Amino acid sequence: MCGIIGYVGNEECAPILLDGLRRLEYRGYDSAGVAVHDGQELRVLRAAGKLTALGDALGRNPVHGATGIGHTRWATHGKPSEHNAHPHVSGNVAVVHNGIIENHVELKTELKASGRVFKSDTDTEIVAHLIDLALGRGLELFEAVRETLKVLRGAYAIAVLSKDDPSRIILAKNASPLVLGVGDGVMLAASDVPALLSHTRDVIFLEDGDLAEIRREGAKIVRVDGGPVERPVTRITWSLMQAERGGFKHFMLKEIHEQPRAIEDTLRGRVNLDEGGLEAGEMGLDAETAKKIRRVVFLACGTSYHAALHGRYLLESLARVEAVAELASEFRYRDPVVGEGDLVVAVSQSGETADTLAAAKEARERGARVLAVVNVQGSAIARAAHGTLYTHAGPEIGVASTKCFTAQQAALTMLAIHVGRSRGALSVEKGRALLQELVEVPAKMRETLAGARHVEGIARSIVHARDALFLGRGLSAAVALEGALKLKEISYIHAEGYAGGEMKHGPLALVDRDMPVVCLLPSDSTLEKMLSNVQEVRARDGVVIAVLDEPSVARDIAAHTIVVPRAAEAVSPLVTSVPLQLLSYYVADHRGTDVDQPRNLAKTVTVE
Ligand code: F6R
């Protein structure tokens, strides 16, 4: 999600910035730009699309200078376009930013009221205006940035360059990554280590709440709300490839570990704990519109369909509205009954899946209201919808979806709470309690991820299995389906997900001592029934792998247990999904498959 690069040294910096941005391409982006100080002026060049477009623009309009900042933008606020690309300039300062400013609406309203004119639709431009205003009040640049940070809420890594001082770049970090590169008479800054490695292997990782200034001679680092701090210099020993994956062996593993952050970013600026509801104007679903919904129809494919099942369940239980989830690839070929009064929720990581797009368009033509729950700003499904609820998981590179899936679950939980509150089906207290549970999910995911090694051990024991079953009931039935899909697509082991109650209607015939059966046993309203189903498996010698929050529950029946922190029923699938992803990952890795690019599969399926 967005890449930042900054350079202050002795060489022509435009090619260095461009090279740094190339090293950050893996983060995903849709536009790019640089600001270079040419000794007199700030020269800003931006281009929509790939870095070659920015390279061409630099070829046509060369910029010379030894201090500059650059950025690749992954759109979150405002379409991917040249005018929304960074850097954004106000007065004499240029700013690049990675993250989301939560209070951008109120800040922008205030700035507009004071006569400020905005040239982009981004939240970032606010930062440039605020710094310019602080400079106008007589503060010097470093202090002007510090004052600005004090009014920002949300996640940011920013780099600031001023026309008045080519000798330094100001940097700040809060919940978005930023690392400094320490060279000989040169200093750099970047969102990630790969962008620095052609210049130096000595880096300083900034911490949240740090404000820094880099000059050729070195760095000064202070706390935004305090005095100077020392941050250690770390020598990087990773290869470039390893560095792009943050030290993880595969992008999939990195993305599994990024889930707490993905959920935090998806919730950021939307959860209103006081009201027990949501701030989600982008959905185009105010209380009046929500009250008129007759039925909710979720449309999606693959993993996104499993998230849709989660949404369907919660819309019914929390908002008390009829809800169905349909495979988009089936929906449009059966002359469906859909139209006015229906809210169609199109769920898609890429926002480009041909079947989901066509189904959403068809539903819209028939009079339904369409809401897109997608991860890619401005994607085809977002454009085809009346409203959007973006998951802010950041770009997902591994073909098998992980962080986008749990971000979808989080977004759909928010949607259910929003509709429930709007229709009076949920009280303020209930809404607040559920949102609080959602806010606590990232910490529970972190705790679960800390047990990755234990899951790896279990994975080793089933690496030679020919088949596997995944069982769950209620919301966990969707987790079981997703667990089976994950295992089959990356390890090529045949796997099936079932609602536990279905076992005795057929699949039980498959169970023997060679069959691993992953059982989802969170402490919820389905636990007792699920335990009976697990007994049925155990009685046929099936190898039970229990995912639970209370170890004593499966003491006598499970061959292996994976304990996760307890969470409320509505959100526990976000937590229990994590060990299943890890299990699939480690099985696949030990089998030596191409984890990030499984055979026969594509990340974005644009054919029907
Ligand atoms: C599996 C996976 C796929 C996608 C499906 C829909 O790990 O990622 O099943 O979920 O191809 O794609 P999107 O979500 O982009 O519509």
Does a structural domain hold residue 608?
Answer: no
Task: Identify the residue whose C-alpha is closest to ligand 1 atom 8.
Answer: 401
When mean pLDDT is compared across 230-234, 396-400, 532-536, 603-607, the lowest value belongs to 603-607
d(CA 59, CA 54): 9
Task: Identify the residue whose C-alpha is closest to ligand 1 atom 10.
Answer: 303
- Closest atom, ligand 1, to C-alpha of 408: 14
Residues 466-473 have a mean pLDDT of 97
Do 555 and 507 belong together in one domain? yes
Does a structural domain hold residue 598?
Answer: no
Residues 565-569 have a mean pLDDT of 98
List active site positions.
2, 603
Cα dihedral angle (213, 215, 219, 220), rounded to 10 degrees? -50
Residue 120's region, left for phi above 0, alpha for psi from -120 to 50, else beta, is beta
Does a structural domain hold residue 602?
Answer: no
Do 439 and 459 belong together in one domain? no
- Closest atom, ligand 1, to C-alpha of 605: 11
Q: Which residue has the higher pLDDT, 355 or 28?
A: 355
pLDDT > 80? residue 45: yes
CATH code, domain carrying 380? 3.40.50.10490
- Closest atom, ligand 1, to C-alpha of 402: 7
Pocket (CB within 6 angstroms of ligand 1): 301-304, 348-350, 353, 356, 400-401, 489, 605
- Closest atom, ligand 1, to C-alpha of 349: 14
Do 166 and 74 belong together in one domain? yes
CA-wise closest residue to 399 among 594, 192, 606, 608: 594
CA of 500 from ligand 1 middle (Å) equals 24
Do 37 and 177 belong together in one domain? yes
Do 583 and 561 belong together in one domain? yes
Query: Is residue 208 classed exposed, middle or buried when 0-12, 13-18 and 19+ CB atoms within 10 A define those classes?
Result: middle
- Closest atom, ligand 1, to C-alpha of 302: 9
pLDDT > 70? residue 606: no
Q: Which of 298, 304, 379 to mutate to test the pocket of ligand 1 (most atoms within 8 A of CB)?
A: 304
CA of 302 from ligand 1 middle (Å) equals 5
Do 432 and 488 belong together in one domain? no
Last residue of a domain, one of 433, 449, 465: 449
pTM across the whole model: 0.81
Do 45 and 123 belong together in one domain? yes
Do 250 and 140 belong together in one domain? no
Number of structural domains (the chain) is 3
Residues 479, 576 contacting (CB under 8 angstroms): yes
CA of 364 from ligand 1 middle (Å) equals 22
Q: Residue 129's domain spans which residues?
A: 3-236
CA of 41 from ligand 1 middle (Å) equals 47
Residues 328, 359 contacting (CB under 8 angstroms): yes
d(CA 330, CA 297): 13
d(CA 398, CA 302): 15
pLDDT of residue 1: 66
Strand ranges inside 262-341, DSSP E: 271-272, 277-278, 295-300, 322-327
Read off the tokens for 196.
Answer: 């620095």
| pLDDT tens, position by position, 77-104 | 788 899 999 999 999 999 999 988 989 9
When mean pLDDT is compared across 241-245, 508-512, 561-565, 569-573, the lowest value belongs to 241-245
d(CA 548, CA 561): 7
pLDDT > 90? residue 396: no
CA of 401 from ligand 1 middle (Å) equals 6
d(CA 442, CA 499): 26
Does a structural domain hold residue 267?
Answer: yes
Q: Which residue has the higher pLDDT, 352 or 140?
A: 140
Does a structural domain hold residue 439?
Answer: yes
CA of 301 from ligand 1 middle (Å) equals 6
Does a structural domain hold residue 596?
Answer: no
Do 183 and 255 belong together in one domain? no
Q: Which of 374, 605, 608 to mutate to test the pocket of ligand 1 (most atoms within 8 A of CB)?
A: 605
pLDDT of residue 100: 86
When mean pLDDT is compared across 342-346, 452-456, 461-465, 594-598, the lowest value belongs to 594-598
| pLDDT tens, position by position, 163-179 | 999 999 999 999 888 99
> What is the overall mean pLDDT for the chain?
94
The type of residue at 200 is T
Q: Which of 349, 375, 597 to mutate to test the pocket of ligand 1 (most atoms within 8 A of CB)?
A: 349
Listing DSSP states for 152-210 in one string gives: --EEEEEEEEETTEEEEEEEEEEBS--EEEE-SS-EEEESSGGGTTTT-SEEEE--TTE
Tell whether omega for the bond before 598 is within 30 degrees of 0, i.e. cis.
no
